[in-house]
Structure 1
Amino acid sequence: MTLSFVVSGFAVGLLVGMTGVGGGSLMTPLLTLMFGVSPSIAVGTDLAFASLTKGVGTFTHRMRGTVRWPIVRRLCIGALPAAVLASLALKKFGVLDKEIGQLIRYVIAVSVMLTVVALLFKRKMLAWINAHPQYQLQGGALTAATIASGALLGTLVTISSIGAGAIGATLLVMLYPRLTAAEVAGTDIAYAVPLTAIAAVGHWWLGSINWELLLTLLVGSVPGITLGAYAARAVPERVLRGLLAFTLVSVAAKLIS
């Protein structure tokens, strides 16, 4: 079983490196469906996994100057309290309870489908926003919308471990269409570090992190992400994202069946 987890970590890391999509939308459903890991343990372990891997990514983007820290702060104002409240709610209602586990499966399925929408329609949404500048938020309205987006992402990420990647990046593109692709990626990763760390601490408090599983996933994922980043240059992005979207739709259907 340990080897299987290492291979799975490598496969997910490879896809993440090739597509740029967060591992949560792939790793959590994989652990739940293929290996029968309980939804709460899968979410908690993946959050700990994400906090470590995204920390490395943030360091790289900071060195390159592609993190917009004012936006990171606004997102965190909404996301971090939401993560704490979501953890308290899971504690109150019993994260390891069977019915709560089923609810988490449904939340994961919804989050996966939101990721699919983000993958397939991000460019069209951006084109529409650029074509209608009168609808772009400014000033206080933009700040409030950013904080609200952070709160939504904080809740989704804590309950399902999904949302900080493709969904977060899509919201950033819609709210801040003038950001470069590198700035979107760097800002998205930077705010996700404290968010996933706090959510992971919450799940540690709840007893829903499997540390041995976490270690084996890291062993496989680190070389997978590295190799995937190089392989991405050889495979058309449209092909990769189309394949990933199809996979995620199948995963979501299986989760709710």
Structure 2
Amino acid sequence: MDIYLPIAGQSVNALLIVVLGFGVGLLSGMFGVGGGFLTTPILIFYGIPPTVAVASATTQITGASVSGAMVHMRRGGVDLKMAGVMIAGGLLGSVVGAVLFRLLQSSGQIDVVIGFMYVLILGWIGSVMLLDSLRTLGYVPAKAADTPRPRHNRWVASLPYRWRFNSSGIYISPVAPFALGALAGVLTVFLGIGGGFVLVPAMIYILGMPARVVIGTSLVMILAVSAATTMVHAVTTRAVDVVLAALLLAGGVIGAQYGALLTLRIKPDYLRLALAVIILLVALRMALGLAWRPEEIFSIEYL
């Protein structure tokens, strides 16, 4: 069943978009990521204009994050104080990202920048997560020079004005989570992603948060920032396609519920390994899209 998208200006298979939303929602509930890192590239591969794909994906991220965050909150897996600090940084980052996005959009370079940033960021994050997961599971031997990892980064430990985050059991400066939130806000506006694939590893390895509260806290932060980003896109870029977003939300909300339940049945290390493989596959496909020469080249000239 095809349906017309008014902002994208084309027809799409409605059932296929709903299934995509379900799959992304499943990832959201399982890994604590918004899922936009997968939604946006697939929409672009399908033929949706990159600006519309980015802006509409943030709406889907909001719905999927609501569903997944509710499940984790009921289980006590959310540090609300930490989430509040990261949300404050995320709102600031979304404003900065919106200004940069608008400048690149007016120059006509936004599509290339979006693709390049996806390849760079996803390739780096996916490689680090894959290697770490394989070492944890014993498939790759650890280096002899490896030393036990400190609870949190030394730079974070040296920051002043420390706060106690009781739910996470850590005592650090709010500057570090604020900066992480700001980075996620910029990524949400620029790439249509919740930033969870950056936040989750950073919250574990940089902030030293325990895994039991990382996913839920990440989802709460993503929820607030993606909702604000959707409003920013709707007002500034006017690229939010409500019909496309509704189709993605229909599947995403249901998928997030099942994803959150699966985290209780699958070993976390295997979940992290699966996420790393997915991220690298998406990065590879984006790289091919940037470098592969099409069989026929078309150009549009203004007379």
The TM-score normalised by the length of structure 2 is: 0.71
**Does 1:221 find its partner at 2:252?**
yes
Residues 254 and 184 (structure 1), Cα distance of their counterparts in 2 relative to 1, 3 Å cut: same
Q: Which moved more, 1:97-106 or 1:120-129?
A: 120-129
> What is the alpha-carbon root mean square deviation over aligned residues?
3.1
> 1:81-109: CA deviations, max 9, x gaps?
120121122223326x6421111121222
Name stretches of at least 5 consecutive residues in structure 1 with no aligned partner. Answer: none
Q: 1:111 to 1:132 in 2, by over 3 A?
A: closer
Give the letter for the 2:118 counterpart: I
Deviates more, 1:114-123 or 1:191-200: 114-123
Normalising by structure 1, report the TM-score: 0.82
Structure 2 unaligned runs (5+)? Answer: 1-12, 137-145, 163-172, 292-303
Kept after mapping to 2: 8 A contact 1:129/1:135: no
Of 88, 112, 129, the match for 1:102: 112
Q: Distance in 2 between matches of 1:92 and 1:209?
A: 18
Does the alignment pair 1:85 with 2:96?
yes
The alpha-carbon deviation at position 229 of structure 1 amounts to: 4.1
Number of residue pairs matched?
A: 254
Give the Cα separation in 1 of the matches to 2:48 and 2:26.
22
1:111 is aligned to: 121
Q: Which amino acid aligns with 1:78?
A: G
Q: Which has the higher contact order (CA 8 A, sep 6+)?
A: 1
The aligned counterpart of 1:128 is: 149
Partner Cα separation in structure 1 for residue 32 and residue 41 of structure 2: 18
CA deviation after TM superposition for structure 1 residue 133, in Å:
7.3
State how 1:45-194 maps to structure 2 within 5 Å. 45-94=56-105, 98-117=108-127, 119-120=129-130, 121=132, 128-130=149-151, 136-137=157-158, 139-140=160-161, 142-162=173-193, 164-177=195-208, 179-194=209-224
Correspondent of 1:8 among 20, 41, 44? 20
1:214-233 deviation line (CA, Å, top 9, x unaligned): 11112222333333444555
CA contact (8 A) 1:119 1:241 kept: yes
Contact 2:159 2:175 in 1 (8 A): no
Tell me which moved more, 100-109 or 11-20. Answer: 11-20
Equivalent of residue 25 in structure 1, options 37, 45, 48? 37
The structure number with the bigger radius of gyration is 2
AA of the residue aligned to 1:250? L
**What percentage of residue pairs aligned between the two structures are identical?**
26
Higher share in helix: 1
Note if contact 1:51-1:197 (Cα within 8 Å) is conserved in structure 2.
Answer: yes
- The verdict on how the C-alpha distance between 1:70 and 1:127 changes in structure 2, with shifts beyond 3 A counting, is farther
Deviation at 1:245, TM superposition (A): 2.4
How big is the shift at 1:240? Answer: 4.7
Distance in 1 of aligned mates of 2:155 and 2:286 = 40
Q: Hey, which of these two has a bigger chunk of strand by percent?
A: 2
